[in-house]
Structure 1
Amino acid sequence: MINQQQLWDDEAAGQYDTPGEGMFSPEVLGPTVEVLSGLAKGGSAVEFAIGTGRVAIPLSEAGIPVSGIELSHAMIARLREKVGEHRIPVVQGDMTGARAGENFSLAFLVFNTIANLLTQEEQIRCFENAARHLIPGGRFVIELWVPQLRSLPPGHGGTVEVAQPGYLLVDTYDVLRQHVISHHVHFGPELTDGHEARVGRTPHRYIWPSELDLMARLAGFELESRWADWDRSEFTAESRSHVSVYRLIER
């Protein structure tokens, strides 16, 4: 049984923020905030797995009231170093059941985080929880990677996704359970703990886009848009990720 609280601890929270670089770069955050602001249509938003506020803070600065749900105490503490509860209220709990309020125009779950839920049932419950937060016609936005099973060599259960100085990312697959374990290997002179290398592992359950759409339908959503990225590029068979916008069906 994976203890997510231990997985996303103080060390993970401290390493998460990379101001101005990677997922925190203006080239990534600018289009993300633009899309989410437009989808909120002047209403309020709730972020599932808000983390340290990478997206929530600039979205709030753009004029959208934002609330959040976050399981990790360490992530919330890091967020609180940046903004107070009065500006971005956060409920500590699991995104499959924790409640941050209701009548939101927008719910969103970015950076592959729905895959942190390791069973199909939990992932469906996440959709159902999003529906409980939204007004009729509200949107639920999910950013997720496309499983790269075509890159698995015959007879092998893993792929090297990133190989660069000081860092390797190796993904190993359990295709029966749709599980991936990402092995993050940091090495080189930048390590200050006296070790030659440091390995961290994060488990995920990958979801095919069609399976995600079925989960949405079970919770009362319909697919409204799907792009390859936040720049709204066309989603194709070669896309490695997608941004999917689901609309809660009015009843």
Structure 2
Amino acid sequence: MTGGDLSATMLEHARRSAEAQAVQLDLVQLDMRHFDLNGRTFDTTIVAVNSVLHLHSLDDFKGFFQSVARHLSPKGRLVFDAFFPNVAMLSSDPDRRQLVGAIVHDTQGKIIVEETLRYEPLTQISHVDWYWSTSAKKDFWRTPLQVRNIFPQEMPLLIASGGLRLVDRFGDFDRSPLAAGSARQVCVCADQG
């Protein structure tokens, strides 16, 4: 199994997790927009957790899909998820916080995560800020994110720009059909050939 990330910190975290679970893992630092793994090919490439949405420009997407296409075996598949753009959310008040969720941390207890979102329609980029709070300290951490929104009719065109084709698409990981109320697009891609 091979894993890649631009962040050395994320790769180190993955290495420690793999060691703790006795999993053999080859980790590579790479930029998903353009990478070359010296001719290696894979039957399955998975890009999880909306990671493709950190690509912003058409050139970024084209480079990513071309790089993946070079590394897919003849019957290989790329599988990735991208949240389904919600027009109500994109047009919400950019100063109003929305609840993202809550987690329980080993030492800090319950942590609440809220977000604000400012959408730029010309670039289709959402500027998101996550605010992390405990009962003892409000906003102890802020995480800024910039994510691209990909609408359903646009997705196949972006995929094709890099030499792949969309062979299946679902509305969630349970393989439910893509519908207007879907939370995400789960895409399965193959070589155009």
Q: Which residue of 2 aligns with 1:9?
A: none
Name the TM-score, length of structure 1 as normaliser: 0.64
Name 1:44's counterpart in structure 2.
Answer: none
Alpha-carbon distance between aligned partners in 2 of 1:170 and 1:180, rounded to the nearest angstrom: 10
Identity rate, percent = 24
The 8 Å contact of residues 5 and 29 in structure 2, kept in 1 or not, is answered as yes
What per-residue deviation string (whole Å, max 9, x for no partner) do you get for residues 77-107 of structure 1? 11111225x9211111201222235221111
Residue 68 (1) aligns with residue 3 (2): yes
| Count of equivalent residues | 181
Relative to total residues, which structure has the larger helix share, 1 or 2?
1
Select which of 176, 179, 188 maps to 2:125.
179
Q: Do the aligned residues in 2 keep the contact of 1:169 with 1:182 (CA within 8 Å)?
A: yes
* Structure that is richer in strand per residue: 2
Are 2:189 and 1:246 aligned? yes
The answer on whether the counterparts of 1:184 and 1:201 sit within 8 Å (CA) in structure 2 is yes
User: How much has 1:189 moved relative to structure 2?
Assistant: 2.7
Instruction: Tell me: higher relative CO, structure 1 or 2? Use CA pairs within 8 A at least 6 residues apart.
Output: 2
Instruction: Output the CA distance in 2 between the equivalents of 1:243 and 1:159.
Output: 29
Secondary structure of the residue aligned to 2:179 is: coil
Q: TM-score, normalized by length of structure 2? A: 0.82
> What are the superposed Cα offsets for residues 22-52 of structure 1, whole Å, 9 maximum, x if unpaired?
xxxxxxxxxxxxxxxxxxxxxxxxxxxxxxx
- Unmatched runs of 5 consecutive residues or more in structure 2: 103-111
- Residues 168 and 184, structure 1, Cα contact 8 Å, conserved in 2: yes
Q: Is contact 2:69-2:162 (8 Å) kept?
A: yes
Displacement of 1:153: 4.6
> What residue identity is the alignment partner of 2:16?
E
**Do the aligned partners of residues 215 and 161 (structure 1) sit closer, same or farther apart at CA in structure 2, a change above 3 Å counting?**
same
Q: What one-letter code is carried by the residue in structure 2 that aligns with 1:240?
A: A
For 1:87, the equivalent position in structure 2 comes to 24
Over 3 Å counting, the alpha-carbon distance change for 1:222 and 1:199 in structure 2 is same
Work out the CA distance in 2 between the residues paired with 1:174 and 1:94.
Answer: 25
Describe the shift of the 1:82–1:163 C-alpha distance in structure 2 as closer, same or farther (beyond 3 A).
Answer: closer
Task: Tell me how large the CA RMSD over aligned residues is.
Answer: 2.5
